Amino acid sequence: MYPLKFEPILKQTLWGGDKIIPFKHLNDDLKGVGESWEISGVENNESVVANGPDKGLTLTDMVKKYREELVGEANYARFGNEFPLLIKFIDAKQDLSIQVHPTDELAKKRHNSKGKTEMWYVVGADEGAKLRSGFSEQITPKEYKDRVHNNTITDVLQEYEIHPGDVFFLPAGRIHSIGAGAFIAEIQQTSDITYRIYDFNRKDANGKTRELHTSQALDAINYEVLDDYRTKYEPLKDEPVELVACPYFTTSVYDMSEQISCDYSELDSFVIFICIEGSCLMTDNEGNEVRLGAGETVLLPATTQELTIVPQEGNVKLLETYV
């Protein structure tokens, strides 16, 4: 096996902006691209391999073909042929809806699906751009419903002005929304279940408001209030800094100007690298090479034992994630 790149799945949305195409250096004139699904095993949205002998196969094909070699023994036993993570870039030109995602337990009961725990890494932010995460004060489920109906739900949500490098961890059940001007990388469980709580009474091109799931969200929401919903970390040069470790993924950031060697001999998992800045050359223990530039994502199979990363252009910033 070898490091895998995939064709991006570009999604035009009502709220999409103009940052994703140039960031990924794509020769494309699509407008209003709100999301680029970088690595996806979601049914009917499976990523397609873009390089090497397996070019043209879907990610689902790859898991079925290589099984433990691709994802790791424990992951294959746990998830079977379903790839467990979904990687996206999201560019919001307008505020996204306020939403929540169910836990595994609730998603299994209602949709026979996985829940959705996720994290955000801020790639870029227009001046004044904000993210909402969690409640700013304690409210009851009844008050939640009343506030949605009288358009005051945003008054009790915690709001943060954001800057590149900011990190937010969003366990299933945490109410949240992405604000206008936010450009983020999102790492999440493989699930497309979203309860849309409030959409600012927006209408689409046909004058229709989007479907809301206010009642379904009622018992999916975790009403606990925290002092601070941001993920704090101390940036370091030329060594990985762990950002999030949870049952669904572990993610670190690399801020590099020098060569780094990674030892994966004890890790029973695939590894994903998302390039946020600069470009680098990656070489695995089999001698396979892959160049990764800003806006690109690569999947290293679980058979990878060692990896050498050499910066090529500018300062290199990478997100590393595995299960």
Question: For residue range 119-142, what is the model confidence (pLDDT) as tens digits?
Answer: 999 999 999 999 999 999 999 999
Q: 251 and 223, same structural domain?
A: no
Which pLDDT band, with edges at 50, 70 and 90, does 218 fall under?
Answer: very high
Q: 267 and 168, same structural domain?
A: no
Tens of pLDDT, residue by residue over 71-111, are 999 999 999 999 999 999 999 999 999 999 999 999 999 99
**Looking at residue 130, what is its pLDDT?**
97
**Looking at residue 225, what is its pLDDT?**
97
Task: Compute the distance between CA of residue 20 and CA of residue 16 in angstroms, rounded to an integer.
Answer: 9
Task: Compute the distance between CA of residue 182 and CA of residue 18 in angstroms, rounded to an integer.
Answer: 12
**Looking at residue 205, what is its pLDDT?**
75
Q: 251 and 210, same structural domain?
A: no
Higher pLDDT, 192 or 175: 175
> DSSP 3-state assignment of 104?
helix
Domain count, the chain: 2
Q: 191 and 115, same structural domain?
A: yes
Q: 159 and 17, same structural domain?
A: yes
The sheet carrying 98-100 orders its strands as: 157-161, 130-135, 176-178, 98-100, 195-198
Among 229, 254, 271, give the residue marking a domain's end: 229
Q: 139 and 15, same structural domain?
A: yes
Q: 74 and 163, same structural domain?
A: yes
Tens of pLDDT, residue by residue over 246-302, are 999 999 999 999 999 999 999 999 999 999 999 999 999 999 999 999 999 999 999
DSSP-assigned letters across all residues of 248-305: S-EEEEEEESS-EEEE-TT--S-EEEEEEEEEEEEEETT--EEEEETT-EEEE-TT--
Which pLDDT band, with edges at 50, 70 and 90, does 160 fall under?
Answer: very high
Q: 262 and 307, same structural domain?
A: yes
**How many residues in the chain?**
323
Q: What is the CA radius of gyration of the chain?
A: 20
**Looking at residue 266, what is its pLDDT?**
97
Structure tokens at 142: 């009844």
Tens of pLDDT, residue by residue over 178-216, are 999 999 999 999 998 999 999 998 887 788 888 999 999
Burial of 3 (0-12, 13-18, 19+ CB in 10 A): buried
Q: 126 and 64, same structural domain?
A: yes
Look at phi and psi of residue 116 and say left if phi exceeds 0, alpha if psi is from -120 to 50, else beta.
beta
Q: 257 and 221, same structural domain?
A: no
Among 210, 229, 248, give the residue marking a domain's end: 229
**Looking at residue 135, what is its pLDDT?**
98
Cβ-contact 134, 174 below 8 angstroms: yes
**Looking at residue 224, what is its pLDDT?**
96
Residues annotated within a binding site: 101, 118, 176
- Residue 257: give the domain boundaries: 237-320
Tell me, what CATH number does 139's domain have? 2.60.120.10
Give yes or no: 132 in active site. Answer: no
**Looking at residue 311, what is its pLDDT?**
97
Q: 295 and 218, same structural domain?
A: no
> DSSP 3-state assignment of 146?
helix
Q: 223 and 87, same structural domain?
A: yes
**Looking at residue 26, what is its pLDDT?**
94
Cβ-contact 313, 296 below 8 angstroms: no
Among 212, 229, 246, give the residue marking a domain's end: 229
**Looking at residue 175, what is its pLDDT?**
98
Q: How much of the chain exceeds pLDDT 90, in percent?
A: 94
* Given the residues 196, 210, 230, 291, the one annotated as active site: 196
**Looking at residue 256, what is its pLDDT?**
97
- Bridge partners of 185, per DSSP, are 89, 121
